[in-house]
Amino acid sequence: MNHDHDSATTTAAGTSGNDKPGTSPLTRRGEDAATGSTRNVEIELPESQIKKIEDLNCYREYNLLISSEKHYIPPLECSLELWFDTRNKITPPQKHVHVLNQFMKIDPVELITALDNLRVESISNHRIIKKSKRIKCLEELELDYILLPRQSRTKNGYVFIYATTGWKILRSEFSLEIEILFKNNKLELVQEHSGLWTRLEWNFEYDIK
């Protein structure tokens, strides 16, 4: 899947009194030209390329609302489809919109360490080949989509990222697919794709009062 790093189609970022007319600021990881160190730097998008999450065009597929176009995710530096587990709703619930807007502010640095822990564990469990290389940056992941699971009963905010690694499964032609869960903008887990949001476990351990 192409990451479309340069086609930042939509964002939920707002503007402030200090913003330039017709633009909106976003932050991304980049190199400081003066020091050479990596830090958050500001980029700007024309207003014509900005669309709020609640204004996205979506289509229904079973219990999901899926965005008809990709949405730019600043911390991941790419555009992805957004999936909302909404049951019978025809627009993303307000909580989903709020949680996703907050998610735009995360710092994904700790995710790289968690990915390497999963790689080492998967090699030890003979799930992937020993030659599987360490992921050094998110660009080396094939990011597939973001999913907002059911969370109407809990006070917590949950966001899944689904992705495909370059790690070949042992005795298979396929690569390991993973799910990444953030809880209140903090990394909760990184594991092999299990469809956690569809299982009874989600109802009894996550979406609870």
Tens digit of pLDDT for each residue in 83-111?
A: 999 887 888 999 999 999 999 989 888 99
> Which amino acid appears at position 174 of this protein?
F
User: What's residue 34's pLDDT?
Assistant: 53
User: What's residue 106's pLDDT?
Assistant: 92
Pair type for strands 78-85 and 142-148: parallel
Chain length of the chain: 209
Q: Judge whether residue 52 has pLDDT over 50.
A: yes
Tens digit of pLDDT for each residue in 129-182?
A: 999 999 999 999 999 999 999 999 999 999 999 999 999 999 999 999 999 999
> Which amino acid appears at position 155 of this protein?
K
Task: Out of 37-41, 44-48, 150-154, give the one with best mean pLDDT.
Answer: 150-154
| Mean pLDDT estimate for the chain | 81
CA gap 16, 35 in Å, rounded: 28
CA gap 166, 184 in Å, rounded: 28
Q: 44-53, 88-97, 166-175, 192-201: which range is least confident on average? A: 44-53
Compute CA 112 distance to the chain's CA centroid, rounded to the nearest angstrom: 14
How much is the average pLDDT of 42-71? 73
Tens digit of pLDDT for each residue in 13-25?
A: 333 333 333 334 4
Bridge partner list, 31 = 38
**Neighbouring C-beta atoms of residue 66, cutoff 10 Å:** 16
CA-wise closest residue to 191 among 162, 169, 159, 168: 162
Enter the DSSP assignment of 8: -
191: enclosing H helix or E strand = strand 186-192
User: What's residue 193's pLDDT?
Assistant: 98
Helix residue spans in the chain (DSSP H): 94-103, 109-124, 200-205
Enter the DSSP assignment of 174: S
CA gap 50, 23 in Å, rounded: 9
